[in-house]
Amino acid sequence: MFSALLSQTSSSRKTFLSIHTFSKTCPNIHQKPCLINGANGDVYTYADVELTARRVASGLNKIGIQQGDVIMLFLPSSPEFVLAFLGASHRGAITTAANPFSTPAELAKHAKASKAKLLITQACYYEKVKDFSQENGVKIMCVDSAPDGCLHFSDLTQADENVMPQVDLHPDDVVALPYSSGTTGLPKGVMLTHKGLITSVAQQVDGENPNLYFHSEDVILTRVSIAPVVPPVMLAIAKSADLDKHDLSSVRMLKSGGAPLGKELEDTVRAKFPQARLGQHLLYDGKGIPSGGDQRKPIFEKELET
């Protein structure tokens, strides 16, 4: 699979690949698991994801989303997040994402600055953007039970995938619009392109690596081998009294990004996962930033000590 990715990435200097067509370069993976919903065990194969993303794109077109329009997602980690992102890519639209726990004022500022035409969320967050939606004529869509006046995500996933205009994409077309944290000023939208994200994926791959396939179950169920997390999750791992009850021997790499880890926290986590490499995705100031468009090279514990 990954040899095919590298080969195609090399040739894509001449033949452009959009982010949603990248996986098509990998032979014989269509029936392999692509997404596993940890909440209910639902499994989406690569073929399922591709078909549903095309339906989402058709549904977006049906409700008026045009190439270059922005949709805003504020969702927890979920299949709907991935499907909405890939569907928007198919449509030639741009995805921006916000933290569901942001305040109504923060969400309104983000949506207004990005010129979002559609907000996709859960019903429990509807009230946070209700006023903004009504004042600005922006549609709201829920992935679960939709309040009155809201669209439902099934309006997208049940659309006819064959009913969509041809989209002419360019390598430098923007596909994602993450916002900076605003550490040194107001948050700013960072324009990430199809070419940039594909390059970001390819640079993480070093030849054939079958260990990157997800199999039938998740450490407890799937036996995860690589776990990218954020510092609060590292802290939860360090404080958990339940880890010893489970077989975590499949984890061979823990990668943390977004903020630096203290040495005491690193040492505690390393002691709980002695078989795994612990790495931080850091930039010069010790923090990951969205403007990089990728995870950068992980800095492992041996490098931190030297």
- Tell me: the pLDDT tens digits for 64-121? 999 999 999 999 989 999 999 999 999 999 999 999 999 999 999 999 999 999 999 9
165 pLDDT band, cuts 50/70/90, is confident
230 pLDDT band, cuts 50/70/90, is confident
Nearest to 68 by CA among 137, 169, 200: 169
Looking up residue 38, the CATH number of its domain turns out to be 3.40.50.12780
Helices (H), 209-300: 231-239, 263-272
CA within 13 Å, CB half, 207: 0
227 and 171 both lie in a single domain: no
Instruction: Examine residue 208 and state whether it is found in any structural domain, yes or no.
Output: no
117 and 264 both lie in a single domain: no
d(CA 276, CA 126): 41
Total domains, the chain? 2
Strand order in the sheet with 299-300: 226-229, 253-257, 277-281, 299-300
187 and 228 both lie in a single domain: no
- Tell me: the pLDDT tens digits for 235-290? 998 888 888 888 888 888 888 877 778 888 988 988 888 888 887 764 433 344 55
- Tell me: the pLDDT tens digits for 176-227? 999 987 667 788 899 999 988 888 777 766 555 554 554 545 555 677 888 8
For residue 4, the model assigns a pLDDT of 43
Instruction: Examine residue 104 and state whether it is found in any structural domain, yes or no.
Output: yes
d(CA 64, CA 41): 33
Domain that holds residue 298: 215-305
Rounded to a whole number, what is the largest CA-CA distance in the chain?
A: 59
Among 202, 234, 261, residue at a domain's last position: 202
Instruction: Examine residue 209 and state whether it is found in any structural domain, yes or no.
Output: no
For residue 62, the model assigns a pLDDT of 96
